[in-house]
Amino acid sequence: MRSDHITESPFKMNIVHLLLKCLAPVARRFELQTKDPICAQKKILFEYLRRNKNTEYGKKYKFSSIRSIEDFQERVPFSNYENLRLMVERMAAGAKNVLTADRPVFFGRTSGTTGKPKLIPVTRYSRNKKAQLMALWTYYISRDHPGTTSGKVFVIIDPEVKLTTKSGIPCGPENGHAYVNLPAIIKRGCAIPYEIFEIEGYNARYYTILRIAIEHDVTTLATLNPSAIIILCQKIKRWKDRIIDDIEKGTLDQNFDIPERIRAIAEKRLKPNPTRARELRRILNEKGELLPKDFWPNLKLIECWKGGTMRLYLEGLDRYFGQTPIRDFGCLSTETRSSIPITDEGAGGILAINTNFYEFIPKEDMHKAERRAVLCDRLEKDKEYLLIVTTPGGLYRYDTDDVIRVDGFFNKTPVIEFMQKGLNAISLSGEKVYESHINEAINAANKGLKLVIKFFSASVQMEKPPRYIFLVEFTDDPSLDKKKALLRSIEDELCLINLEYEDTRQRQELNSPILKVARKDEFEKFRSKRVAEGAHETQFKIPQLVRDPEFQKNFIIEEEIFLE
């Protein structure tokens, strides 16, 4: 599978050529719009207001009589999911014309600021709008890296959770649902059949993914979270001999617990491949290890998030992939896609002005009672803002809780990069832990133990993979067993409260948490120090969630408790 021996099939060449030909006018139109972003923003806003003027929400805020952006901002309040939860739950139960004129065909399920998951309505119209942005992003990749489809595309996703609402509408993780519903012509180019991602045991799933992928000539590797890539690369070292043996024999290791239905689907694709096995053994003998840069010499591009805390993982990719280019996915969530990266440099993407209407609250104002929102033509380079969106899916002036930075401008349109979740949330690996999650978890964890906790705060420890640190000061001196029980219970409660936290822990993208017991009166000393520095004594409180890894250094730690 040497790089000088590969040729792209005529079929794939035709597909790429057709893609570029069809999307080139779309890209030119988008780039033309970036010269006057406010014009594009007005057009998209009033398209959504007209479309949804007869919904409950549209009637409540009189969409039909809104004549300007200023009217819209004065009449329609900022919203967040908790403001909309009851309306969305009614939509999930079958109610029509609530937030959108179009009926939802799917609900994206993700963690919320409370322990209850969010259900984000997806209509055919909003799905098509999001798909148009995906196609545009793909166009720029195909333009810059025409060899990305010459071999297999290795995509890592979450499995589709086959749930339905009371009215029978499917709901679950959006990326799994999208993978299942890919057109057959695109599925042919994917290395891993969807069913493999349904394997429940993580080691069994990872092994099967690697066993299949390593046999292929992979030219594109795509997953949102780069930590998943690092984990797979680390597991290759552990399983390299078993994988090579399986490839040689055309088998799938029987020692892994894989449901018969899925095993049959996988094995149907397998056949003995001694040539590939010899090549892998040669690489192993020559290099002393099995690295993707050696066994996938034709890999053209890695597609993953690069901004915010993801930089921690990018530093480790060079060892495994050499100088393979990396393209950011852009600001992408269940609620919306907000940017389109058109280069491999950095993590910034052009604001997607043709799909959502955007407002921005300066970071320093985001927690003020009176929040001042500006439009995209008033943004300043290198400044950070809270992102507010109005989407085709029925979210109006919606607080994404995403803080973005303006990296520059493409024509007159901002190039934005995701920096972090809002100040009351941390997302080290996509888990989105909110302060309310921590508060709920510690209260539930201590309900049975009844420990007397003087102060409690959660922070982070940036290592590979990163982990959460639970700082605690007890009034009394509980036994070691009770401290261990508290840590275990906090972990269990967080997994129950936050689906993404549980997933990232199981995928080993987050290390196990540590309980750090502070010496008596440490938190009071910290409080006194902050008051002496100018904090208001009656208002000061130590937050229960702190993103600064240096925060724990403010306290003398007497004991560290690890999960067993």
- Angle of CA points 84, 426, 544, to nearest 5°: 90
- Please name the residues in contact with 390: beta carbons below 8 A apart, sequence gap of 6 or more: 45, 48, 356, 357, 358, 396, 397, 398
Element (H, E) at 497: helix 480-497
In this prediction, residue 264 carries a pLDDT of 96
Smallest Cα–Cα separation from 244: which of 280, 208, 209? 280
Closest CA to 141 of 213, 222, 216: 222
Which range has the worst mean pLDDT, 80-94, 230-244, 534-548? 534-548
Q: What is the pLDDT of residues 166-205, one digit of tens each?
A: 999 998 877 777 777 777 777 788 999 999 999 988 899 9
State the DSSP H helix or E strand holding residue 557, giving kind and residue range, or none if neither. Answer: strand 557-562
Instruction: Report helix, strand or coil for 179.
Output: helix
Residue 251: predicted pLDDT: 97
Cα angle for residues 89, 95, 101 (degrees, 5° grid): 105
Task: Give one DSSP letter per residue of 404-415, joined into a string.
Answer: EEEEEEETTEEE
Q: How confident is the model at residue 254 (pLDDT cuts 50, 70, 90)?
A: very high
8 A C-beta contact, residue 384 and residue 376: no
152, 12, 173: which is closest to 107 by C-alpha? 173
Q: Measuring CA to CA, which residue among 172, 176, 173, 232 is closest to residue 208?
A: 232
Tokens, residue 56 = 């409950």
- Which of 400, 471, 459, 385 lies closest to 428 in space, CA to CA? 459
**Residues contacting residue 273 through CB under 8 Å, at least 6 positions apart:** 215, 247, 248, 250
- In the chain, the amino acid numbered 245 is D
pLDDT in tens, 318-368: 889 999 999 999 999 889 999 999 999 999 999 999 999 999 999 888 877
Tokens of 176: 């799994």
What CA dihedral angle connects 67, 69, 73 and 79, to 10 degrees? 110
End-to-end CA distance of the chain: 44
Q: In which band, very low, low, confident or very high, does the pLDDT at 392 lie, cut at 50, 70 and 90?
A: very high
Query: What is the predicted pLDDT for the residue at 113?
Result: 56
The b/e string for 498-514 (b: 16+ C-beta within 10 A; e otherwise) is: bbbbbbbbebbbbbebb
